[in-house]
Structure 1
């Protein structure tokens, strides 16, 4: 999830008649030394209030935890000073933010509390292979998170696997699955830019693109195996990795001189993202099985939005695998089916008609089920139902 999602989220709520106040910090996530000078402003009819925080490096786990505590306390005291709100929506950044629900339930009991859960803590710490004191801390914090979730009135997850993990807390809140829409939503399926495509894939017959983060939750080994099998059969099927993250260097080191159909490109900025996404024929996404339900790769929705089928390397039981099967928008790659996926890709490489049908299906599925309008209409209904149900309860009492 990005700050752009929250900006668009607030804008869309305003369009639907809501009065929105957004609380943030005064520093950038990736550049903590850079400050945003305006402590408060009105932007597109949204009141933005920024809490001052120290320039702590979020890459350091203890400083990241200290930042979480700082922001939770800062937001809590700021909310107490604001006029009462009908609804308070809280995300999961910084980590352990839901602990704020303890104080909110006690001090602002008339406000409905909504949790938009787009990653799970401390599950992320455990999935990352925590050991020793970190693992001890994470396991005990699950109890605190469970108690915090029981204060929530509406629990919003971003995938069925995440719903299952949250349900295990027995939180009692109404549950909704509302996914993060694509930041790029073209009005029609567009042809790729020839120069961009050539830069990424050369003279490839079929281009497969991994664009985004290659972090600890992601895997590349199956993609490398697939690329090597395809190279033997058809060297014109080319893979390009345009990514960054904790495992990117590991990926580069795993690629050998013999991997002539594997290329690298720089991480795309937002201005170039649409051209980059359109340049490929098929997109790649991955998630290690231990991270199922802890995070959901939002790049999946960006791929469908531009009409690209997805090859997903991950568990058969994950949210992405479930959507791919349900909507027929790609292939699921496991260590058991590399040969069959290879053969299917070779067929697609020889059949432009099949590729075009796959593109049209991916695009139509996105517009019907996952677009910003569809998701925000569901958000609007869920929030208004929450308030109306509360008013009916007051009348009955």
Structure 2
């Protein structure tokens, strides 16, 4: 991630970046908002409002105020109860929202611009209210669509009173923004359908690939520390790396591993954390699935070795997740040149990217037979797998670089006019692709 220029004296317009999670937390939200803020700091006076670290480095005390890589960071007060206990997590979000609201109400000026991410979903409401009271436009960055994500996870029925109430609250937030940024074409469509105020401009700006993550000369499995640690040398490794959350389809992976135990050259490596981690660990142990290794989340500095340990990477979602979430891990998987098995709705950004770039297989959610067939084909066709690696890296370089993404945010936040639907000209967007979906016989 490039360091911001030292041109502070020339940066007059102030941009507020609001994210509960920020550096030194490096979970996806913290990592990407940190990168966006530091990229904006090359042209703007950037001020971040966030909390003390509460995710990947929970317990670490960071300075209340500091300037890091050209960005002025203000860590507001909030309660720090255990975020894994839902009522306590709600209290944390309420207190941080109040702190952010008061800070913005005091400090906002009419010419300022505001960028706020909607994860967690409470604080953007406080930001929206403060902006309205101070007459300031704000841009809403959507990482996950609520309450749709909660419904897709099976935690809330779309016919329930609570769902309708939350959907109305999200609608108020959405229609009060000047701009809305989404991460994929499927999310663009979903948000456009939800938008009542057609003057609200919806723009697609994806997350980026860390192209410096791996030298071009390295290859999958070559003297790899992760393979050596888990004794996987000589194995064909199917890897799942990332959040093991309620919307991620881990059942299809475990079921396939159960059915494929007789293949002694095949191994499943599941790495990460999240709400379903306990279920995965207990299932693998109780069923004695010797072809599965479950490991804890690795620090970001080990991401290189982790992704290079895979012969093929799995990114999996439950049904009805198209337009709800776009997995940022896809772009780093592409950056290291790893083919992908996408367990996803065919209209999702994930499935469309995999199909358009010809870098893997698209499998319908919950279709274990199709998933096994994709693994078998990947394992039995090394020439095609090698070609996919080249295409994946090339696509990451051409479509998903850090410089492209940050420049799109700069243009969005410094303009007073409406913006196009995508950071790419519509003529450059690939047409609807015939996605070859593997289905059970």
Fold-level similarity (TM above 0.5): yes
Residue 169 (structure 1) aligns with: 194
Q: Partners of 2:174 and 2:29 in 1: how far apart?
A: 23
Residue 35 (structure 2) aligns with: 8
Instruction: Evaluate the alpha carbon distance shift between residue 137 and residue 334 of structure 1 in structure 2; reply closer, same or farther with a 3 A threshold.
Output: closer
Instruction: Evaluate the alpha carbon distance shift between residue 80 and residue 288 of structure 1 in structure 2; reply closer, same or farther with a 3 A threshold.
Output: same
Alpha-carbon shift at residue 306 of structure 1 (Å): 1.0
Instruction: Evaluate the alpha carbon distance shift between residue 54 and residue 308 of structure 1 in structure 2; reply closer, same or farther with a 3 A threshold.
Output: same
Segment drifting more, 345-354 vs 74-83: 345-354
Alpha-carbon shift at residue 180 of structure 1 (Å): 2.1
The correspondence for 2:145, drawn from 120, 130, 134, is: 120
Q: Partners of 2:231 and 2:239 in 1: how far apart?
A: 9
In the alignment, is residue 92 of structure 1 matched against residue 118 of structure 2?
Answer: yes
Residue 205 (structure 2) aligns with: 178
Q: Partners of 1:97 and 1:19 in 2: how far apart?
A: 22
In the alignment, is residue 289 of structure 1 matched against residue 319 of structure 2?
Answer: yes
1:37-76 equivalence runs, <5 A = 38-76=63-101
Alpha-carbon shift at residue 152 of structure 1 (Å): 0.7
1:1-397 equivalence runs, <5 A = 1-15=28-42, 17-29=43-55, 34-36=60-62, 38-82=63-107, 84=109, 85-109=111-135, 111-130=136-155, 136-170=161-195, 171-172=197-198, 173-183=200-210, 185-188=213-216, 190-191=218-219, 192-200=222-230, 202-232=232-262, 234-255=263-284, 259-334=289-364, 338-339=368-369, 342-384=372-414, 386-387=415-416
2:41 alignment partner, SS class? helix
The answer on whether the counterparts of 1:283 and 1:303 sit within 8 Å (CA) in structure 2 is yes
The gaps in structure 1 that reach 5 residues or longer are 391-397
Q: Partners of 1:217 and 1:337 in 2: how far apart?
A: 16
1:242 alignment partner, SS class? strand
Instruction: Evaluate the alpha carbon distance shift between residue 272 and residue 34 of structure 1 in structure 2; reply closer, same or farther with a 3 A threshold.
Output: closer
Q: Partners of 2:390 and 2:312 in 1: how far apart?
A: 13
Alpha-carbon shift at residue 217 of structure 1 (Å): 1.0
Instruction: Evaluate the alpha carbon distance shift between residue 352 and residue 389 of structure 1 in structure 2; reply closer, same or farther with a 3 A threshold.
Output: closer
The size of the alignment, in residue pairs, is 384
Q: Partners of 1:10 and 1:25 in 2: how far apart?
A: 15
CA RMSD of the aligned region, Å? 2.7
The answer on whether the counterparts of 2:345 and 2:364 sit within 8 Å (CA) in structure 1 is yes
The answer on whether the counterparts of 2:190 and 2:323 sit within 8 Å (CA) in structure 1 is yes
Alpha-carbon shift at residue 347 of structure 1 (Å): 4.3
Q: Partners of 1:20 and 1:174 in 2: how far apart?
A: 23
Q: Partners of 2:242 and 2:325 in 1: how far apart?
A: 14
Instruction: Evaluate the alpha carbon distance shift between residue 335 and residue 64 of structure 1 in structure 2; reply closer, same or farther with a 3 A threshold.
Output: closer
Q: Partners of 2:131 and 2:291 in 1: how far apart?
A: 56
> TM-score, normalised on structure 2?
0.79
The answer on whether the counterparts of 2:143 and 2:326 sit within 8 Å (CA) in structure 1 is yes
> TM-score, normalised on structure 1?
0.87
The gaps in structure 2 that reach 5 residues or longer are 1-27, 420-441
Q: Partners of 1:286 and 1:342 in 2: how far apart?
A: 14
Q: Can you list the C-alpha shifts for 1:49-85, whole angstroms capped at 9, x where unaligned?
A: 1111122222222222232232222212212222525
